[in-house]
Amino acid sequence: MYDAVADDYCYPNSTVLKNKLDLTDADELDAFEAEVSDARADEELPAGDLDFAHFKAVHGHLFQDVYDWAGEIRTVRMSKGGNPFCFPENIENQAKLLFGQLKKDKFLAGLEVKKFAEKAAHFLSELNVIHAFREGNGRTQLSFFLLLADQAGYPIDLEDLDPEAFLDAMIASFHGDEAPLAALIQALIEDQPD
Ligand SMILES: Nc1ncnc2c1ncn2[C@@H]1O[C@H](COP(=O)(O)OP(=O)(O)OP(=O)(O)O)[C@@H](O)[C@H]1O
């Protein structure tokens, strides 16, 4: 749940996001959203160049059944747990910088595991600060990270991810400490069966 309450994305006098099924009950929407985005995540994700357009396409794929604005950046300010994300008017520019750096870094290919984990943690942390979408950022970040890791030669199985530890690490990274996130990523890679 975001700190930001009712906005134009929500039904009048409600914090439930307008959705394609017109579900107005928060629990029903959560359940539907979880089910269909999981199913979409199991499908082949859109192909792309690991750029911002690709990232948005992944969000569009995961949430196409739920929101009209799937794949489109948000237009409202948001925060979580008191932590403010990028203002909407700065999202495009910040994303251009972040994805530009990723390209300069050759999409993190050819790095030994520790370096890859550090760089990937930094990328994920910055991506989270941008928080491009009104909803679905966490799931899109993870799906995109899997594509990135796969292409860099480090295929990862998310079954092995501890969601609570991951969330704590993401929040720590928001406050500038990327070490727990890097350690989690490194452990995920090292724990993969050969
Ligand atoms: N207090 C916080 N400060 C900074 N970032 C946070 C905080 N709480 C959660 N996050 C980040 O925001 C993501 C969730 O964003 P959002 O709710 O848009 O995504 P989601 O896919 O709908 O939800 P989830 O990731 O919980 O399934 C988390 O995965 C985490 O990376």
Q: Is the pLDDT of residue 194 over 70?
A: no
Q: How many CA atoms lie less than 13 Å away from 52 in the CB half-sphere? A: 19
ipTM of the complex: 0.95
Which pLDDT does position 33 carry in this prediction? Answer: 98
Q: Is 130 in the pocket of ligand 1 (CB under 6 A)?
A: no
Model pTM score: 0.95
Residue nearest (by alpha carbon) to ligand 1 atom 26? 138
Cα radius of gyration (the chain): 17
Question: Chain-wide mean pLDDT for the chain?
Answer: 95
100, pLDDT greater than 80: yes
Specify the residue with its C-alpha closest to ligand 1, atom 8: 80
pLDDT confidence bin for 92, thresholds 50/70/90: very high
- Residue closest by Cα to atom 28 of ligand 1: 138
Nearest CA to ligand 1 atom 25: 138
Residue 152 alpha carbon to ligand 1 centre in Å: 25
User: Which residue type does 93 have?
Assistant: N
Mean pLDDT of 57-71: 98
Give the distance (Å) from ligand 1 centre to CA of residue 135.
9
- What 3-state DSSP class applies to 178? coil
Tens digit of each residue's pLDDT (9 = 90 or more) over 27-51: 999 999 999 999 999 999 999 999 9
Going by pLDDT thresholds of 50, 70 and 90, the confidence category of residue 158 is: confident
Domain extent at residue 99 = 2-190
> Total structural domains in the chain?
1
Q: Give the 3-state DSSP-derived string for 57-126, with helices as H, strands as E and coil as C.
A: HHHHHHHCCCCCCCCCCCCCCCEECCEECCCHHHHHHHHHHHHHHHHHCHHHCCCCHHHHHHHHHHHHHH
Q: Would the pLDDT of 11 be above 70?
A: yes
Per-residue pLDDT band for 1 (boundaries 50, 70, 90) equals: low
CATH number at residue 68: 1.10.3290.10
